[in-house]
Amino acid sequence: MSEKRDTRTRNWTFFVYPESAPENWRDVLNEMHIPWIESPLHDKDVDSNGELKKAHWHILILFASKKSYEQVREITLRLKAPNPQKVMDLKGMVRYFAHMDDPNKFQYSKSEIIGHAGADPLIYLSANSGERYQLIKEMISFVKENDIDEIQDLIDYAMENRFDDWFPLLCDNSAFIMNNYIKSIRHRIR
């Protein structure tokens, strides 16, 4: 007797096209009370010939239990969306929504990735160690070049101009090193 493989999974992705989706497509998803994440509108993607691709959103649905292709296809049919695909890696998928790991593609704003029904995209967008160190290096250079002598000035700048990368770092774990760096500059000047 052959073993039957379970092809169900908890996380699925699909496209929604503005031209074909019902006007209330977000309401359709929200009314299911299932956490889901919406990408920025991808309206600047190009194909291998340099032609502009059809505008679309990437959608990620995060089910509490495994769902079959057929179950998810019922949802995509209601949205007039193409076939759903299994998600192999949540973090990689959410980062793809902004093309974070592909510098050759148009870079969409991370702040335009929206969580619905309790989904929190920020947990998938945090910088890895290498990125974090590079961002700290950028902040140190900025502090030097702009004669920053108070952490408040750096935080204010980050909040207004670097909300997607510097600001979360300062809030979560890098304010300590940056504050000490800025203090050391002040002490050296005295």
Looking up tokens 């770092």 gives 169
Question: What are the per-10-residue average pLDDT scores of the chain (190 residues)?
Answer: 78 96 96 97 92 95 96 96 94 93 90 94 83 93 95 95 89 91 85
Would you state the pLDDT for residue 101?
A: 85
Query: Between the CA of residue 118 and those of 87, 99, 109, 161, 163, what are the distances in Å?
Result: 19, 23, 20, 27, 22
Looking up tokens 């070049």 gives 145
Would you state the pLDDT for residue 188?
A: 81
Looking up tokens 């969580």 gives 115
Would you state the pLDDT for residue 1?
A: 52
